[in-house]
Structure 1
Amino acid sequence: MFPLSFATSLQLLVQPYARHRTEQSITLEGSRSPLHHQPIMYVVLFETKPSPAHQSTYMSIAASLKPSLALVDGFLSNVRYRSLTRPGWLLSLSTWETERALVRWRAAGTHHGAQARARGGVMEDYHLRVGQVVAGDGGAEGLDTTEVGAAACVMLVYGRADGLDDGPSDASELAASMGLSLDGRDGATLEEQGLVAWDVFQAVDGLGELVLLSSWRDEADSSRFHGEVGNGQLSQGKVQKVRVLRDYGKYDRREAPQFFEDAPGGETTH
């Protein structure tokens, strides 16, 4: 729970969708939500854990890529968040108009060099997923989902939390305020209903922007959550459903589109 002084100083600003209402000041606006750009086709979810000894190096690498990234035709946005459930983990969430735009960025020499450097020890671990935004009924046909990832679909719910600071936050309360009750529903746990994992991230710039990232076993499971929260309880433009096309990481390279030498520190799967 939040400290009483924090909880009592805030008023709930969520629309009256919530049967999960709590005392957080959550506004489901997401002023930088990628849905403000239309049309959005692709999302890259890049979860990273920089080595504590190389935090400054990681941030320097990220900053050095910004000018090149901004010049890529088809690039739309990139926001960096910190996890509220896993200390040290960050989320870089970028959006793209087309898959061709992603290929352009992947082929950029500056990007490839930065990846190789980060894999050499700057990042302890990372998890990268590439997906296509789809409508609630499934959207575009003909795209294969990941064959190795535990989750075929991801739901992104954008919001704001006024009054959050750098202190500890109850991520489960925030998740409930954004529509994901961890108690389950209809007598079944969320795991039984297909939830693989979840996390709440806060933008590192300190503006209070949040994103709830929930990963679902398949599209049918995510559609139930989308139907309850995305279509029925939140206003349009606050929720994204993402079909995961590729899922890989520092040591699991089975769906990685690029070849790198095996990274030190763990066993690599090809």
Structure 2
Amino acid sequence: MLAVLFEAHPEPGQFDSYRDYAAALQCTVGGGEPAERNEYRSATRDGWLMSLAVWAGKTVQTGRAARTEHPGSRREALGSLLDYRLRTGEVAFDTRAAPSPHTPQPDSAGEEGSAVTVLSMAGQEACHALDNPRQCAERLGLGSTNQGLAAWDLFESLDLPGEAVILLSWQSQQAARAFEREHELPAGTRLQRVHVSSDRRATGTPSSAAQRHLTLQPLHGQTADDGERERLSALWQRESLFDEQGLLRVRGMIGLG
């Protein structure tokens, strides 16, 4: 299953622009409407939002060949983001899904690259987590003893009241799988592990769609290529990035073109 995680920090009052852009971007990357799409608000980082979309029966490889028509996004949408992170990958494990021939299994999946674990909870567990995120993290054993844990965050669902997700970012797939073996999750918690194939991050101070300072943040153990930095910065600043052709170019930017 193809998965796209889009975290963003919109400017105040630009929530609708963010939602429009996130929907158009995900449809472009996935080649059509996803089977699942949910949006969340961070409980630990003020102003941060996340959109998670999953396409059943699709992989990163099939996504590269996909083409779609879409209405395009509002021109000011991307310029209204203070920061963003866009990750694309495949759902390698899901406690609520039967194995798929397209889904890499633990004994055959490649071990290169990073991973993301999505823990979905509802009802009392979600309420307790949202009331005290730090305590929730301690209950799950998240901390300095977790080898390979780069970051974690707790999100409240905007689409499904009473639901929440914990997002765990791992430096390696081995670390993500070790967490699954070593920790017992609360009853009813859904676990999805995503093998990340593309990870793009940017921070900046927007002024308009045509004038924006962009700084790419290097991934763990990597250095951003100067040529790529200039190319992405130029793409970011063009207003045409927000029309249909511009969004299609985003596919190439994240490796799906």
TM-score range, shorter chain: 0.5 to 0.7
Residue 82 of structure 1: how far off its partner (Å): 0.4
Q: In the alignment, does 2:152 pair up with 1:198?
A: yes
Relative to the length of structure 1, the TM-score reads: 0.59
Residue 218 of structure 1: how far off its partner (Å): 1.1
Residue 44 of structure 1: how far off its partner (Å): 1.0
| Cα separation, 1, equivalents of 2:168 and 2:8 | 17
Which letter maps to 1:91? M
Q: In the alignment, does 2:194 pair up with 1:242?
A: yes
8 Å contact kept, 2:41–2:157: yes
Q: Aligned residue for 2:73?
A: 114
Alignment of 1:139-158 (within 5 A): 140-141=108-109, 145=113, 152-158=114-120
Structure 1 residues 199 and 44, CA gap change in structure 2 (3 angstroms): same
Structure 1 residues 114 and 159, CA gap change in structure 2 (3 angstroms): same
Residue 131 of structure 1: how far off its partner (Å): 1.6
8 Å contact kept, 1:81–1:204: yes
Structure 1 residues 216 and 59, CA gap change in structure 2 (3 angstroms): closer
Residue 52 of structure 1: how far off its partner (Å): 0.9
| Cα separation, 2, equivalents of 1:220 and 1:62 | 30
| Cα separation, 2, equivalents of 1:95 and 1:60 | 17
Which letter maps to 2:192? Q
Q: In the alignment, does 2:127 pair up with 1:175?
A: no
Q: Aligned residue for 1:131?
A: 89
Which letter maps to 1:141? A
8 Å contact kept, 2:7–2:49: yes
Structure 2: which 5+ runs fail to align?
A: 95-104, 203-214, 217-223, 238-253
Q: Aligned residue for 1:52?
A: 12
8 Å contact kept, 1:43–1:130: yes
- Farther-moved stretch of structure 1 (73-82 vs 133-142): 133-142
8 Å contact kept, 2:7–2:50: yes
* RMSD between aligned residues: 4.0
| Count of matched residue pairs | 201
